[in-house]
Amino acid sequence: MRQDIREAINQNAMSSFQITAVAICIVLNMLDGFDVLAMAFTASHISSDWHLSGKEIGMLLSAGLFGMAAGSLLLAPQADRFGRRPIILFCLGTISFGMLLSTFTQSVLQLAAMRAMTGIGIGGMLASINVITGEYASNKWRSTAIVLQATGYPVGATIGGVIAGVLLTHYGWRSVFVFGALVTLAMVPIVMARLPESLDFLIAKRPREALGKVNKLLQAMGREPIQALPSVAAAATEPGSGLAGLFSRGLAVQTAMIWASFFLVMFTFYFVLSWTPKLLVAAGMSAQQGLTGGVLLNVGGIVGGTMFGFLSSRIGLKPLLWACFVLTSALLVCFGMFANTLAIAFAVAILIGGGIFGCMVGLYAYAPILYRAETRATGMGWSIGMGRFGAVLSPMVAGALVDAGWPTANLYYAFAVPLLAAIASVGLLGNSGANAVPQARSTP
């Protein structure tokens, strides 16, 4: 019976109810794009007001990433216990609270603590919105839907950057955090009214009145109601849940490889996003040109992420990821060679943005198919959390190399290597857990 429900979602056209659920997840990730980069948008103004050192600015930039790692590892797995929707609502409240309190801070330590709180909410929410997107999309559109949801991040970052620029000009840096708090809080009633709980969670964990909730969701999707849930033995009592479930049923290698893949890709991803504007200036460009280079990365990310979604419904995820790894590595080498040539550097920056975001969203599309419903949010949370360690480590490694006198070109050559290593880690991934959420049209 559980398989019949899943097959109906997988094989039939998506209803307006399903499309709305996916659209809400995309908007939530757009907000994350703004909330994550709020510190980067305001860093120079805060530094001027508080006369901060580079080390203090670095701590503020890292605080949110540490919080995101903690949220992914500790909070996201709770969605497999309490449900995806309650965790999303809790995380929205945490993000709003952290952003709002940021406006009242008077010291670096206070602001760092609030950035960490905001990061915990963001990290805890990402896995659940990714899982809901995958579960309510059909086979034909699953990979595309997940990729579009992930692409919401650069869209939010780009739009947020424009809005932040206006707010900073007229109202100061604290207004950026107020804006982030208000728009995040505005999503709470929308999520409560229109974002559904995961069907797979309801069937696997069978909370109170699970049958009625399942039938209500089926009715909203235009499906026939069911008379009874699958037996408890079939749905919820199999061994190996939670973190242990990521290493049971032959998943140990899969889990290790997806963790390694996220770590390697985020290691390069956050180097590119955080250091490119500064390195362009070091290569001889003006500060405004360096900022433009950073914006172009996000613009390229929007295009690249969308293209990945389009291609993923026609090409297997694994070969498409391999192509992204190779292409982006080559582009990083090219960028290093021509970083001091304005026209070439800007053109390659757009392409790098498309490639690196394609690598990232491809992993977001791949990870859910490895795990069953009982451990899917835990699997996503820990995969993203392990990647966050790469995100935190890479700017520090780059800074150490800059202090050691490495030229700009050599930095980009070095950070192309992790993407080549990810070819091997993705190559060792399989699809043993894919029976929980069947794969997209092509086998990855």
Burial class of 48 by CB neighbour count within 10 A (0 to 12, 13 to 18, 19+)? exposed
Mean pLDDT of 339-351: 86
Fold match flag (1-237 vs 240-444): yes
Cα separation of 143 and 365, whole Å? Answer: 6
| Superfamily for the 1-237 domain | MFS general substrate transporter like domains (1.20.1250.20)
Are the beta carbons of 202 and 216 closer than 8 angstroms? no
Q: Residue 319: CB partners within 8 Å, gap ≥ 6?
A: none
Look at residue 54 in the predicted model and tell me its pLDDT: 63
What are residue 217's phi and psi, to 5 degrees? -70, -40
| Total count of residues recorded for the chain | 444
For residues 331 and 364, give the distance between their C-alpha atoms in angstroms, rounded to a whole number: 22
**397-427 residue pLDDT tens:** 887 888 788 888 899 999 999 999 999 999 8
In the chain, count H helices and then E strands: 18, 0
As a whole number of angstroms, the distance between CA 275 and CA 52 comes to: 19
For the segment 36-58, the average pLDDT, to the nearest whole number, is 78
Give the residue from 224, 229, 225 showing the smallest Cα distance to 210: 229
- Please choose, from the candidates 131, 170, 440, the residue with its C-alpha nearest in 3D space to the C-alpha of residue 312: 440
Q: What angle do CA 125, 10, 355 make, to 5 degrees?
A: 55
Distance CA 31, CA 188 (A): 12
Mean pLDDT across the stretch 271-300? 76
Give the pLDDT confidence score for residue 235 in this predicted structure: 42
Helix axis angle, 108-136 to 16-50, nearest 10°: 170
The answer, yes or no, to whether residue 442 has pLDDT greater than 80, is: no
Residue 177 token pair: 């955090």
Residue with tokens 């992930």: 150
d(CA 364, CA 380): 8
pLDDT: is 160 or 28 the higher one?
Answer: 28
Report CA Rg, the chain.
21
pLDDT at 291: 65
**Among positive and negative, which fits the CA dihedral 122, 126, 128, 133?**
positive
Instruction: Tokens for 24, please give them.
Output: 């809400």
* Residues 6 or more apart in contact with residue 365 via CB below 8 angstroms: 134, 142, 143, 146, 147, 150, 312, 317, 440
**Per-residue pLDDT at 275 exceeds 50:** yes
Residue 430 has what pLDDT? 64
Q: Is the pLDDT of residue 240 over 60?
A: no
Domain range 240-444, CATH class: mainly alpha
- What pLDDT is recorded for position 175? 93
User: Per-residue pLDDT tens for 200-216?
Assistant: 888 877 888 888 888 88
Q: Does 64 have pLDDT greater than 50?
A: yes
Of 16-30, 271-285, 337-351, 377-391, the range with the lowest mean pLDDT is: 271-285
250, pLDDT greater than 50: yes
Domain boundaries, the chain: 1-237, 240-444
| Average pLDDT taken over every residue of the chain | 82
Dump pLDDT digits (tens) for 127-181.
Answer: 889 888 888 888 777 777 877 887 888 888 888 878 888 888 889 889 999 999 9
Closest CA to 424 of 271, 253, 245: 253
